Amino acid sequence: MVNGKFSFSEEQNFIAHNLRNNYVHQRKLRGHFGQTGEYGLLRAPNPPSWPGTKKIKFNPPFSTKPSIVHGFVVLDSDRSRNFRASVTVSDVSKTGFTLTLSKWADTKLYGLKVRWMACR
């Protein structure tokens, strides 16, 4: 930390630590406010129940409805079956959104984790 500000690598490590612990981290992104986090279900050898749904609350809330981007960070499925999984973002508002992880057909899914970012 220099003059009360994180260097790039310190800030990156702080964010990574928080994401591993399922916290929501907030920071200013070039004058825009953003928040990040992750959600997942991981249970091997016994698959979890699908779908998995999580209501994400922004702290603090945004002043306008943000845009949400997301991506898989963990995929664990039975190799003898086709892999079919989806992530759905719904009910986006200034205060939060709902994230749903699901699979279909005969897919045997042991784990799925998604990292998300909200920005206005």
| 32 class by beta-carbon count within 10 Å (0-12 exposed, 13-18 middle, 19+ buried) | exposed
Backbone angles phi, psi at 38, to 5 degrees: -150, 160
- Separation of alpha carbons 33 and 6, rounded Å: 17
Q: Which residue has the tokens 């945004």?
A: 62
Q: Which residue has the higher pLDDT, 84 or 12?
A: 84
Global pTM? 0.71
- What is the rounded average pLDDT of the residues 75-104? 92
Q: Does 118 score more than 90 pLDDT? A: yes
- List, in order of start, the domains of the chain with CATH numbers: 8-119 (2.60.40.2080)
Q: Hey, what amino acid is at 39?
A: Y
Q: Does 16 score more than 70 pLDDT? A: no
SS3 of 39, please? strand
- Considering Cα of 58, then 31, then 38, then 65, what sign does the dihedral take? positive
Q: Does 9 score more than 50 pLDDT? A: no
Backbone angles phi, psi at 8, to 5 degrees: -55, -50
Percent of the chain residues topping a pLDDT of 70: 73
Q: Express each pLDDT in 38-84 by its tens digit.
A: 899 888 778 888 898 999 999 889 999 999 999 999 988 888 988 89
